A = this chain, B = another copy of it.
C-alpha cells in the first residue's frame, strides 16, 4: 500500500483558487487522472490531471521543463491518447508525477504563469475513456447485494455456498463501456413471464442501474505468474465510479448456466477521473470478517490486507427524470452507502483473478459489483431498493419508480472524508436511458 507523504498534508492549498473551495472534488490532495480534449474540437484526446475546476494538460507539462526525470517520463506517458502507457510504468512513476504536480500547484510555488498556461478549464472539455480497456471483469463483492439479488432470482437459496470463499466474478463486455454522459437505447431482449411457456422479444421492462466502483489495473502480470496478495495493490492504478446498467427481465431468463450476457453488455458507464490509490491513503480502514464467517484462504489473506484492505469511499445514487429536468430540479439522491461494506477487498480481487495464471494488462478494468450496504437505503440497485418491485421509490417530483423510465438519467457520486484529512471526490458518472429502437 502507498504511504502517507507530503502530498496528503491537509494544510496544503493551491494557487488554483477553485481547488481550495470546501465542496470541490479535486483539491490538491486528490490529483486524479483522466483523458480529455477541448469540447467539439479536433484536438487529440490526451491525459490530464484535475485540480479544482481546471485540468493540467499532461503533454504540455511534459514539454515545459517544469518537471524532470521520472515525473517527466510519466507525464509523457500520461499525455498519450489514453493512460495505458502511464499505467504500465508502475507506482513509483505515478507517485513521482503526483508529487511533482503537487509541488507545482501549491500556494507559493514558482513558475505559476508557466503552469497556468498548461491549464484547461474543465467547463470547456469533453472526456474520453481514460484507458483502452483490454478486458473488463465484474466482481460481486457486496454480500448484501448478493443476498438481496439472490432472493429475487433464487428465493430459496439467496446466498450460494461458494460466496464466502470465492471472490465471485464474471467477464463483462469491453466494447460498450462509455464515459460519463453516455446515453443508450432501452435494450431489446428475450423475456419469459412466469405464466407463459414461450419467451418474447421485447424492450426490457426492468432497466436498472448498479452502483459500483471500477478499479483500473496499472502494471500487468505475465501469463502464468499469479500476483500474490502482498503485491496486489502495486498493480492497481486507481479507482473510478461505474454504473453497470442491467436489464433484470433479460437477466432472469438468460443467466443460467453461464451468467449474465445481453442483460448487461449493452452499456456500462464510468466516470472520467481515476483517483489514485495514493490519494486514498488517508481513508483506508481495516478489513474485517464477522466471527461467523470463514476466514479467507491463505492466498487471499495478508497482514496488510487485514490492517487496511478496506476504503471508506462514500457513494450516492441520484435519479433525474425528464419532468424534474424540465422543472429545473436537481437529481434526487435515492441511495447512499460506502465501499467499506464490501466483503472482498481490491487486493483479494486482483490476487484471485490471477491465481490461475490469468494475465492482467495495464488498463484492464475490474468492477466491484453493486456496492450495497447493510441498510435498506444503502442498496445500489432499484431491484433492491424497491424490494423486487414491492416498494416503489418516491421522488421529490411526486413521481415514483420501480425501474427506470425512458429519459431518466442516473448520476453516481463518490467522495472520501474524515477529520484530519482533506475531503477528496470522484466527480460524477452520468448516464441516460433513451427509448428503445423499434
Contact = CB atoms under 8 A, between A and B. Distances in A.
A112 B12 CA distance: 74
Contact of A189 (B254, B260, B356): B356
Most buried by B among A170, A187, A258: A258
A430 interface: no
A326 interface: no
Given A175-B359, A357-B184, A160 B257 contact: yes
A266 B185 contact: no
A261 B171 contact: yes
A142 to B, nearest CB: 13
Interface in A248-275: 250, 253-262, 265-267
Contacts of A150: 257
A19 B185 CA distance: 50
Contacts of A160: 256-257
Majority DSSP secondary structure for residues of A touching B = loop
Contacts of A265: 171, 356, 358
A224 interface: yes
Nearest to A297: B201
Interface stretch (A161-169, A284-292, A336-344, A392-400): A161-169
B294 A437 contact: no
Nearest to A261: B169
A188 B354 CA distance: 9
B356 A262 contact: yes
B254 A255 contact: no
A173 B358 contact: yes
A198 interface: yes
A358 B262 contact: yes
B358 A176 contact: yes
A230 to B, nearest CB: 16
Contact of A299 (B165, B201, B254, B353): B201
A134 B201 contact: no
Given A135-B174, A356-B189, A358-B262, A254 B168 contact: yes
Given A134-B174, A162-B253, A185 B224 contact: yes
A250 B166 CA distance: 11
Contacts of A192: 162, 165
Contacts of A154: 257
B199 A357 contact: no
Given A257-B259, A265-B358, 18 more contacts: A135-B175, A137-B261, A153-B257, A160-B257, A165-B198, A168-B257, A168-B261, A173-B358, A176-B223, A189-B356, A198-B294, A201-B299, A225-B437, A262-B353, A262-B358, A265-B356, A266-B358, A267-B357
